[in-house]
Structure 1
Amino acid sequence: MTLLLAVALLAAVLAAATLRPFGLPEAIIAVPAAGIAVLTGLVPPAGAWAEVGALGPTVGFLAAILLLGHLADAEGVFGWLGHRLATASHGSPRRLLGLVFAAAAGTTAVLSLDATVVLLTPVVLATATRLRLPARPHSYACAHLSNAGSGLLPVSNLTNLLAFSASGLGFLGFTGLMVAPWLAVLAVEYAVLRRFFARDLRSEPVAVAAAGRTGTEAPAVPVDAAGEEPAGTAPRFALVVLALTLLGFGASSALGVEPGWVAACGAAVLAVRTLARRRTGPLRLVAAASPAFCLFVLALGVVVAGVSGQGLAQWLGRLLPDAPDLAGLLLTAAIAAMLANLVNNLPATLVLLTALGPVPQAGLVLAVLLGVNIGPNLTYAGSLATLLWRRIAAGRGEPPSFRTFTALGALTVPLGLLAATVALWASLAVAS
């Protein structure tokens, strides 16, 4: 009965997060569910408090990076990026797809997958519309790279932060091992999307000579809270702050500083300038940090601890291999991908890290990460970011097709997972 209760609580939390009834925040169900888990003894109060304490730094970083993305948008970074995409593509859908891949991969790596979904996707859709090009390939590229392209840095995804804490690796060590898998999955995604959307990408280029000559034509999207249109010049101050923040992430491990503090410093610097220029306000800053979603993550951790405590983690631990050889890495990544599509990638990460034990092999932790990041491109429910992308795309007049999403995922997920896992195995071999 306790196992049934634990599973029911997790199912209710995930259903509420997926469906968002009446637009209510995810925490509305997650917090009471966590309370029930404690009151019924699924998780002892001390265990729940320990789970919240363990997730605290990760959630703090999440709030800081969301705020940093909002401030970068308010400073015109994404509007300028959309302008550059339109100008550099010269109206060619193939060239635009390559540029979108680069922009989405970079945005996801530095500002996390949420920035790609929430901030970059609307700009990409508006750019395709402005150039009178089919938006489908570029929209799906944003969705796929928000998941599969989030494996490079510890800061690229909330799942990465969880795995980073468990891996025992430093920031640069983590990144060094994940470069090859990241490049491998990007290559697979690009090759498959080029082939899958070949008909859309045959569209005739549209003349954008005026934009190419003057460099001042702006995409038809707002770029900040004031609703201003982007200028042709780059938002240099914001770009410099982002670059310094990224360098700070790299130095944080050596200095013994949590990456959340680095993100918070970058956000603070941008906030002073953005508030002074009245491009945002205090209430918007609070909303951008998404306190309700942060509370949801903490509550979800408690609920997942209740499920893990009923034997799920132990059962998975018996399935998972002990050694990070190629067969073990492939099995671990496959299990992680399947579990992510069954219960969403965030709880899947929490359960699998518990299943690996208190001192897991770093290679197996990274294989879990490949599975929970690449796997969600197979189903809508695999990632909260995918569900958010679906709502944003539909609101912009480009509703995704379930059939298209599933067919594309059936091609990219197995190939991408295989390529990335083999690349991880090679990276581990070189590092050893």
Structure 2
Amino acid sequence: MCHAATGPVRADTDTAGVTDTWAQLLAVLMLAGLLAFAMVQPKGLPEAVFAVPAAGLLVAVGVVGPEAASRQVVALAPTVGFLAAVLVLAQLADAAGVFTWVGARLARGSVGHPGRLLGRVFLAGSATTATLSLDATVVLLTPVVFATAARVRARPKPHVYACIHLANSASLLLPVSNLTNLLAFSASGLTFLQFAGLMAAPWLLVIGIEYLVFRRFFRSDLGGRPHGAEVVEGAGQPAPRFALAVLALTLLGFGVSGLVGVEPVWVAVAGAVTLAGPELAGRRIGVPALVRAASPPFCLFVFALGVVVAAVSGGSLGAAVTSVLPTTPTLPNLLLAAAIAAVLANLVNNVPATLMLVTALAGHAHPGLVLAVLVGVNIGPNLTYTGSLATLLWRRVLVRRDATPAQTEFLRLGAITVPLCLVVAVVAVWLGLTLGRGWLL
């Protein structure tokens, strides 16, 4: 079967310079410091400022051998390249006016109908997350939704909360939807279409549950029929047909890439190059902006994070995680794997959790276990701010607009949606495995 990339490898540790106990302690401290730095981002410094030296220190003192660190970086390279290409693609879509057009479509017919706006936000958020990744939903769609809600005189809270919940839970569908998906896809042994086929039902069910809960949870915010809405910027502009066509063809290319032996990263690159042509020719965007869109510091952060997590996984903590993970894809075991993944994501963040769990599965696990882990690391972060970097970034977007979300409200909403969505999604995965067992095994 076609793989998007070689998955993270179990790094052999070389502790000649330090004892096993001190090696594990140092690795855990570096991971904790790295996550704390990423959450706080003092003075706006990128995560790589701490992560790269932390990884270098672990290699220098022998917690991770140079060869093992190099293998981890090489294994992550296709995944990180894919991530960079999708980030550029999303930024180019924004430059082409896709998100301004989406904002206008959200506002049209929603004046005085906050509930109708919420439904449209769910459609836009789910589609954006699935096709352009959760980062596009957080960074590009959330500000559009916030402004649109204000201009149609709707309370923004339900709509911007929907953006982050969908950024996490609606990222189940495609390998391109989330960095965690790319890591799990590499380890699953599935093709792009097989992955999407198994995750389609969980994706739809989770979105449906989230929508019903949101309608109930935010019923007071969605009540009433406000008047006096402003005209939304771009309301009369035509659809950016070229950009939408390129995005549609790129998505189609992802689906057929495995059938023709082409890695999905090259499809993403082709889509980005195609969109970049008119923008560069019209001088609406420059090469430096494209480089910034690829987020080199974040890519370095992912590489360094892989090395740090390899150090942690090679010690007692990694052994403990391996010991509790199930090895057969029964329904109780899939539920257990998802629960472990959700808890770990909220403890150490979802990307490190995915790296640890994929390493613990050691490349020979049944695809069902990998997908159950993915359900846990994608849905679980809706429980706390620390569950994913996307949630932290979303909070910063709102803080800059003097709309800091209340932590207790975020926790209460997550406590309702996360357990229910986890169970329903895992059951849907299990049914997909059962019905499709003939082509999976």
Please classify the TM superposition score into its range, dividing by the shorter chain length: over 0.9
Q: CA deviation at 1:89?
A: 2.1
Bigger drift between 388-397 and 162-171 goes to: 388-397
- Distance of 2:288 and 2:236 partners within structure 1: 26
SS state of the match for residue 403, structure 2? coil
- Report the counterpart of residue 249 of structure 1 in structure 2: 254
Aligned residue number for residue 165 of structure 2: 144
Q: How far does residue 97 in structure 1 lie from its aligned partner after superposition?
A: 0.4
Which blocks of at least 5 consecutive residues in structure 1 are unaligned? 212-216, 220-228
Distance 1:287 1:428 in 2: 41
Corresponding letter in the other structure for 1:218: V
1:114 matched to 2:132: no
Shift in Å, 1:205: 4.4
Tell me which moved more, 198-207 or 15-24: 198-207
TM-superposed CA distance for 1:191, in Å, is 1.0
Are 2:338 and 2:373, in contact at CA under 8 Å, matched by a contact in 1? Answer: yes
Aligned residues between the structures: 416
Pair 1:308 & 2:313 matched: yes
Residue 423 of structure 1 corresponds to which residue in structure 2?
A: 428
1:167 aligns with 2:180: no
Confirm or deny: 8 A CA contact 2:345 2:387 kept in the other structure.
yes
Instruction: Please say if residues 92 and 206 of structure 1, whose CA atoms lie closer than 8 Å, have aligned partners that are also in contact.
Output: no
> Distance in 2 between the 1:413 and 1:60 partners?
31
The 2-side partners of 1:206 and 1:249 are apart by 44
Report the equivalent of 1:323: 328
The separation in 1 between residues aligned to 2:321 and 2:294, in whole angstroms, is: 34
| Letter matched to residue 66 of structure 1 | L
* Aligned partner (choices 209, 218, 222) of residue 232 of structure 2: 218
Distance 1:397 1:273 in 2: 36
Which residue of 2 is the match for residue 225 of structure 1?
A: none
Looking at structure 2, the residues matched to 58 and 318 of structure 1 have their Cα atoms a distance apart, in angstroms, of 27
Please state if 1:58 is matched with 2:79. Answer: yes
Could you tell me which amino acid in structure 2 is paired with residue 30 of structure 1? Answer: A
Kindly provide the amino acid, as one letter, of the partner of residue 234 in structure 1. Answer: A
Matched residue, 1:197: 218
Aligned counterparts of 1:397 and 1:77: Cα–Cα separation in 2: 26
Match of 1:375 among 373, 376, 380: 380
Cα distance in 1 for residues equivalent to 2:182 and 2:337: 18
Contact 2:34/2:47, CA 8 A, preserved across alignment: yes
Task: Identify the residue that residue 180 of structure 1 maps to in structure 2.
Answer: 201
Q: Contact 1:218–1:232 (CA<8 Å) still a contact in 2? A: no
Name the counterpart of 1:342: 347
CA contact (8 A) 1:101 1:141 kept: yes
Residue in 1 that maps onto 2:120: 99
* Residue matched to 1:7: 28
Distance 1:264 1:206 in 2: 45
* CA displacement, residues 228-275 of structure 1 (integer Å, 9 cap, x when unaligned): x56521000000000000000001111121111111110001111111
Contact 2:153 2:228 in 1 (8 A): no
What SS does the aligned partner of 1:203 have?
coil
In 2, Cα distance between equivalents of 1:254 and 1:99: 34
Q: Is 1:43 paired with 2:48? A: no
Counterpart of 2:300 in structure 1: which amino acid?
A: L
- Contact 1:182 1:420 (C-alpha < 8 Å) held by counterparts: yes
Q: CA RMSD in A?
A: 1.2
Equivalent position amino acid for 2:155 in 1? P
SS at match of 2:53: helix
Match of 1:222 in 2: none
Show the counterpart of 1:385: 390
8 Å CA contact retained: 2:111, 2:153: no
Using the size of structure 2 for normalisation, the TM-score is 0.93
Q: CA deviation at 1:42?
A: 1.2
> What is the aligned partner in structure 2 of residue 273 from structure 1?
278
Conserved 8 A contact 2:335-2:372: yes
Give the Cα–Cα distance (whole angstroms) in 2 for the partners of residues 207 and 428 of structure 1. Answer: 52
Give how far 1:91 is off.
Answer: 3.0
Contact 1:163–1:365, Cα closer than 8 Å, also in 2: yes
Between 105-114 and 182-191, the greater mean CA deviation after superposition:
182-191
Distance between the aligned counterparts of 2:64 and 2:302, measured in 1?
Answer: 16
CA distance in 1: counterparts of 2:85 and 2:331, whole angstroms: 36
- The structural deviation recorded for 1:311 is 2.6
2:406 to 398, 401, 404: 401
* Code of the aligned partner of 2:435: V
Query: Quick one: distance in 2 between partners of 1:78 and 1:386?
Result: 20
